[in-house]
Chains A and B, each alone.
Chain A
Amino acid sequence: MVKGKTILVVEDEALVAMLLQDMLQDMGALVAGPEGLFDAALARAEQDVLDAAILDVNLNGQSSFPVAEALRRRGIPYAFATGYGQSGVESGHEQAPVILKPYTSDEVERAVASLFG
């Protein structure tokens, strides 16, 4: 289900980004990014050919919700990966699955699969 899909990874912490990238690639997904910077993430959300995205909520103190908005406008499904949990997600994005850090590969796969369900 996840195999072959292009998934944008937005994560400002280099090590965490590498982990998520590895997890997704092990599932057979193609990774766009990882992007840790807001501007670059927003540009990709607006322009790249994407099937889905996993967004860290907090990018060096900047919220990634505008990136989520851009994805929604294009009909691209997204999930949040955050240490804040559901309470850290802005209203209007409640439909997006939340992956709580630290996460397992299975949790990521289920969340991403649900985006295509």
Chain B
Amino acid sequence: MMLASRFAMFIAWGEVFPYLYNDACIPIVGARHPFAMGKPFREVWPEVWEELSPLLHDAMQGRTSFHENYPVALEVDGELAPHWYTFSYSPLFDSDGQARGLLSIAMDTTAAIQAGRRQDVRRALDDRIRDLSSPADIAASAAELLGAHFSCDACFFAELEPDGAFVRLDGSWSNGRSPPLSGRQPLADLLPDGALSVPLLKEGVPHVLVCGHREAGRWTADDEALAMAIGERTWAAIGRARAEEAVREAARELRLLTDALPVLIAYVDSDRRYRFNNKAYEDWFGRPRDQVAGKHLAEVIGEKAYAELKPTIDRALAGEHLSLDKKVPFRTGGTRNVHIDYVPRLSPAGEVQGYYALVQDIGERIRADEHRQLLVNELNHRVRNTLAVVQSLAAQSFKKGMPLEAGRRAFEARLRTLGAAHNLLTSENWDSATLDQVVREAVAVAADGRHLEISGPAVRLAPQTAVSIALAMHELCTNALKYGAFSVPEGCVSVAWTVADDVAGTSRLQFVWEEVGGPEVRLPTARGFGSRLLETGLAAELRGRVKLEFLPAGLVCRIDAPLPAGT
């Protein structure tokens, strides 16, 4: 019966349980066959005798026992290895009903148990890493699980550097008996005696899973298979996590970059709903991000603006790339000038999935353009007016009957004063100049180094008035150099002015040019350009009175005018 069965069976009896087994039992007996045949049980299985002898003796007491997945450590090739058996010990009775021996029927369940345990570890791994998103956490979690399962000192994943001598640790676990490892390490230090290392080649980069020394002894092929399976599984999860992390990182960078741009950026899908928008977009429409994302265009930009832009949007969603300037209604009322770029986004099959909208506020640019045009026009006007002034100076300098050379000198001197007055105004941003500056500058140009006394409160003159007063001062200087106080070294011109309210409450400027110490003054026989410019031109321009008094002691010029409008 026993010999023909394909169940592993043995019988044993008597005091020392000589061991008799069938062919189906040979795989269990292993290297001990055929030595084991008929030998006492204790000699055949010394490593389990202590544990199993009570069960054998139980059978000899007439008791049948059944053991399911019973773990035993059997010596294979000089090493103890875990095995599992489901077996029964049944007493064999003699005719007196006395148990004389036993029959054992056994089944090696090691493979099934180990497969189940691998399955358990894999499930535990899946449970652990399911909610983890960081590759390092996944590696560390898997290392801990595997380390605990193997009861080894340490377990870690590492990426090998190209030279193979150093590794970078991705996730490491230690049971506390050896120090935890991290960072960049020499590979040799990480592979102590008795360590299991499993190579993992991922995307061309060599990685390794290392399980450190363990008390339980050497690593089996089964352990290695489990480590490999867990390593592969972990690595797949790490790969996915890294890809997801890269996507998140790319999205974060895109967000950071687009939020820093002053341009309004949005992506709108073919249902005309927002799928992306930057900070400038939110600010422009005065809505937080969650009030833009997923909303319809019309809701965010307003029905009015949507109606206005719809034909353009239709074209963008038909696949057209558009670039245009447009005046669009603004949320707080009024309109804004914007430059719009609509860039359609196509699927690989060429279908329009949506479009990117890039919108720039060009109001400032348009205002700047208008302002520049205004300045150009104003410049042209001023240049033309100045040319007319120069033309007038030329006409007055080259009067009929005057010597040409004298006329040329007079014209040049007048141009210099005009140029100096322009310089003064330019330095003041062509805004205004003070009366004090204008008088000093005109005298400095026409009568440099002559004795001038000047006093008066600050009075600001508009550009045109400044130019006229400068030219009037020039004429007074020229006259003083020829006939008056500037014609002798001891001569002096005193310029003084006051500002006071008249009875009507108007601020009036009282200005006096007084020459002293010069030769005796005689009344001129004819009035020249200077007199005319002062008494007629300047008087009209200042809306006041200008009076020239040719007193014997020296020329006196009095100006009485409303305080000129400065700025």
Contact = CB atoms under 8 A, between A and B. Distances in A.
Tell whether A and B belong to one assembly: yes
Interface of A: 12-19, 22, 33-37, 40, 58, 60, 82-84, 87-88, 100-103
B385 A18 contact: no
| Residue picked from B381, B390, B538, most chain A C-beta under 10 Å | B381
Contacts of A83: 380-385, 388
B536 to A, nearest CB: 7
Contacts of A18: 392, 396, 532-533, 536-537
B533 A16 contact: no
Nearest to A22: B395
Given A84-B380, A101-B384, A15 B468 contact: yes
Given A15-B537, A100-B384, 8 more contacts: A15-B468, A37-B540, A60-B462, A82-B381, A83-B381, A88-B377, A102-B384, A102-B390
A14 B385 contact: no
6 contacts: A12-B464, A15-B533, A16-B388, A16-B389, A83-B380, A88-B377
A40 B377 CA distance: 28
B392 A36 contact: no
Given A12-B464, A14-B468, A17-B537, A58 B392 contact: no
A60 B565 contact: yes
B468 A84 contact: no
Contact of B388 (A36, A37, A40, A102): A102
Interface in B269-313: none
Contacts of B385: 13, 16, 83, 101
Interface string B21-33: 0000000000000
Nearest to A35: B540
B543 A37 contact: yes
A34 B538 CA distance: 11
Nearest to A39: B543
Contact of A101 (B388, B468, B537, B540): B388
A88 B380 CA distance: 11
B393 interface: yes
Given A18-B532, A22-B395, A84-B380, A101 B541 contact: no
B208 to A, nearest CB: 83
A18 B540 CA distance: 11
Contact of B381 (A15, A17, A34, A88): A88
A18 to B, nearest CB: 5
Interface of B: 377, 380-385, 387-393, 395-396, 462, 464, 468, 471, 532-533, 536-538, 540-541, 543, 565
A102 B468 contact: no
Nearest to B538: A14
A35 B537 CA distance: 9
B238 to A, nearest CB: 73
B392 A15 contact: yes
A80 to B, nearest CB: 13
Contacts of B392: 15-16, 18-19
Contacts of A22: 395
A102 B387 contact: yes
B537 A14 contact: yes
A13 B381 contact: no
A60 B565 CA distance: 9
Contacts of A13: 385, 388-389, 464, 468, 541
A1 to B, nearest CB: 23
B540 A17 contact: yes
A22 B388 CA distance: 13
Nearest to A40: B543
Contacts of B540: 14, 17, 33-37
A36 B468 CA distance: 13
Contacts of A103: 388
Contacts of A82: 381, 384
A67 to B, nearest CB: 15
Contacts of A101: 384-385, 387-388
Contacts of A102: 384, 387-388, 390-391
A40 B542 CA distance: 12
B563 to A, nearest CB: 14
Contacts of A17: 537, 540
A58 B541 CA distance: 14
Nearest to A84: B381
B432 to A, nearest CB: 13
A88 B384 CA distance: 13
A88 B391 CA distance: 22
A100 B383 CA distance: 12
Contacts of A88: 377, 381
B464 A60 contact: yes
